[in-house]
Chain A
């Protein structure tokens, strides 16, 4: 029997105490559903999705500010894909565009600099959301804007970092036996980021890639390490202990840690990044965007912390579907509700 077959057999036949492992990263949530991983596990091993989908954890005050800016004369809001359909307290960026607002979706972040340079009389606001993986991308945009002497491009930042929200989940939910650590965040930060967290929480962490074998091996490692702290890097082809130091330098140049407001979780001290004071001229008004209004009946907050499974939300699949999403977790392709819906995944 191959090692992978052996791992699969052990995970399928596991008969110990119930275990709950959280995948923090939204791309892991998608990969777990796409690979049908839950069906390969014993009913006693539960995978729960955590707060690692950047669009899902963005509070409505940020969306409201972006829609307001998009409807402001001579101003265009630039954003990556999913955010455009997330509802604020009144409307989404897609609604704002239908109402005459100016919103452009970007694939390449450098297009933001190009657009601003080519249209010097127009103001551009880049919706800078994301985790440690995306923050260096915004740093690179700023570096390029400054180099090109562009002053009509600003960032509206809602940037988050992983360690404090993981601490928050451990402290406030107490229902996790181990973490599948976010693969792409680890590429930037290095696996060392999770060492301290593991020691502090007494829980195991496995850094994993996004292919089926890697994910199964990570779950197997967590089962074996249950009840103990410890870290296993199972994505060594991309993740080193120290991470991408160039990217870390780029982040340090422009950004500094700050308190951040999370959808469904409220303010978490030290869990975000903001522009340093010397780059304030590139900020589009990010300070104080902390309020969050969940649509009536929406359980995003309990889904994001793993308290309930997406299909336990009363709106799931009824009033809330990918075509007509009420909560952000149903909008994003990295959202847990979206992934449960499209893959037919159920609470086990």
Chain B
């Protein structure tokens, strides 16, 4: 049911969103979170469950900062 990695919203029509997963285009419901065209989103069971920060490039750096104190 889960799509593990985020896709990007390319179109929005009411609560219907079109999401691009690296070229694989799917329709998803946007009723559970506020989304706009261009957002990176997580989709679960045909619904967008989260929008993600856009700083994809910084994610690894953030990850390593989080474990610095270990």
Is A286 at the interface (CB under 8 A from chain B)?
no
Is B18 at the interface (CB under 8 A from chain A)?
no
Nearest CB in chain A: distance from B57 CB, A: 11
A237 touches B29 (CB 8 A): no
The number of chain A residues with a CB under 8 A from chain B is 48
Q: Could you say which of B31, B44, B67 contacts A234, with CB atoms under 8 Å apart?
A: B67
A133 touches B49 (CB 8 A): yes
The number of chain B residues with a CB under 8 A from chain A is 30
Q: Could you say which of A213, A225, A247 contacts B49, with CB atoms under 8 Å apart?
A: A247
A130 touches B64 (CB 8 A): no
A184 touches B42 (CB 8 A): yes
Which residue of the partner chain B has the closest CB to A82?
B1
Q: 1/0 contact trace for B40-54 toward A, CB 8 Å?
A: 001011110110110
Known: A246-B33, A247-B49, A250-B32. A237 touches B4 (CB 8 A): no
Interface of A is mostly: helix
Nearest CB in chain A: distance from B49 CB, A: 6
Is A324 at the interface (CB under 8 A from chain B)?
no
Q: Which residues of A contact B (CB under 8 A)?
A: 3-4, 26-27, 30-31, 54, 80-82, 106-110, 130, 133-134, 136-137, 140, 143-144, 183-184, 187-188, 209-211, 213-214, 217, 220-221, 224-225, 232-234, 236-238, 244, 246-247, 250, 334
Given contacts A221-B67, A236-B66, 20 further A-B contacts (CB under 8 A): A54-B1, A106-B46, A107-B26, A108-B27, A108-B28, A130-B1, A134-B1, A136-B32, A137-B32, A140-B31, A144-B31, A183-B4, A184-B2, A213-B60, A213-B63, A220-B67, A221-B66, A225-B70, A237-B55, A244-B33
